[in-house]
Amino acid sequence: MRRRSMLALLPALAVLLAGHAATAQSPTVDEIIARNIEAKGGMARIQDVESIRQTAQFTVQGIVGELTVYSMRPNLMRQEMRVGSETIINGFDGETPWMVNPMSGTSQATVVTGPQAEMIRRSAAFDGPLVNHKARNITATLEGAETIDGRPTHHLRLTHPDGQVQHIYIDQETALETRIVSEAPEGSVEQRLSDFRQVDGVTLPFAVQVVTGGTVTGSMKVQQVELNPSFDVSLFRIPR
């Protein structure tokens, strides 16, 4: 009788063990994000960085130019895009997104509103969407596993406090982002990240492609990254 009881228990035990094995192989959202932060240098090193200056070459719809991005904690940002003799500037002083666009017929700075303003605000977030996401009321859920360019990735869905949704695909081996897709009423915008390199202990992408409607509409190749350069806060304020 005891032998029969033990034999009856074995299938149930096998199911339980299989369940535990599956759980061990399926990381949680928090575990995936923690691995991602470690792969980028670790929380302590990331938070040691107070400012960044990046220079890059960009191509948008066949137009080639030079890009310089100045960023400072917590959310100050200035982008200078030089095309020929003209320079277009996007800026965010922590409250107001603004732009100087001489190609629009004026060299005066103007306040940016609407979807473009939201895009500037979001790109000004110094650490990106994953670092300390809970403290910023960003909800992250695991949508499953997907294969991108022959490599398995974790698909995370992020919902921001304003309702904006992003999909982040994290390479299961490197734990680094390979795709970031931002939903928008006028159509989703996808960033494809590659050529990750270490700069003073922080891992950053040196190549980015922008895809809209399934077509590559822009690309950027980073030429230089400086961590903790000194900036005056006035650099980010709207020119008067």
Q: Which amino acid is at 127?
A: D
Question: Does residue 2 belong to any structural domain of this protein?
Answer: no
Q: What average pLDDT does the segment 182-190 reach?
A: 84
- The boundaries of the domain holding residue 148 are 27-236
Mean per-residue pLDDT, 32-55: 97
In a domain? residue 7: no
Give the closest residue to 201 by CA, choosing from 37, 36, 45. 45
* pLDDT, the chain, mean: 88
Q: Give 77: exposed, middle or buried? Use CB within 10 Å, 0-12, 13-18, 19+.
A: buried
- Do the domain assignments include residue 153? yes
Number of helices (H), then strands (E), belonging to the chain: the values are 4, 13
Count of domains in the chain?
1
Omega cis (within 30) before 74:
yes
Q: Where are the alpha helices (DSSP H) in 40-189?
A: 43-48, 114-123
Q: What is the largest CA-CA distance in the chain?
A: 92
Q: What is the DSSP letter of 107?
A: -
- The reply to whether 47 falls in a domain is yes
Instruction: Indicate which CATH number applies to the domain containing 164.
Output: 2.50.20.10
Rounded to an integer, what distance in angstroms lies between the CA atom of residue 105 and that of residue 113?
18
For the ranges 12-21, 78-87, 208-217, 224-233, the lowest mean pLDDT is seen at: 12-21
User: Is residue 144 situated within a structural domain?
Assistant: yes
pLDDT of residue 61: 84
Q: How far apart are CA 113 and CA 91, in angstroms?
A: 13
Residue 11 lies in a domain: no
Residue 16 lies in a domain: no
**Which residues, including other chains, have CB under 8 Å from residue 163's CB and lie 6 or more apart?**
none
Q: Which two tokens stand for residue 196?
A: 């990750």
Note the Cα 135 to chain centre separation in Å. Answer: 17
∠190-194-200 over CA atoms, to 5°?
125
Confidence of residue 29 (pLDDT cuts 50, 70, 90): very high
**pLDDT for 116-155, tens place per residue?**
888 888 888 898 899 999 999 999 999 999 999 999 999 9
pTM as predicted: 0.84
| Domain annotation covers residue 9 | no
Residue 139 token pair:
């909800």
Taking CB atoms within 8 Å and a gap of at least 24, the contacts of 23-29 are: 27/154, 28/142, 29/140, 29/141, 29/142, 29/156
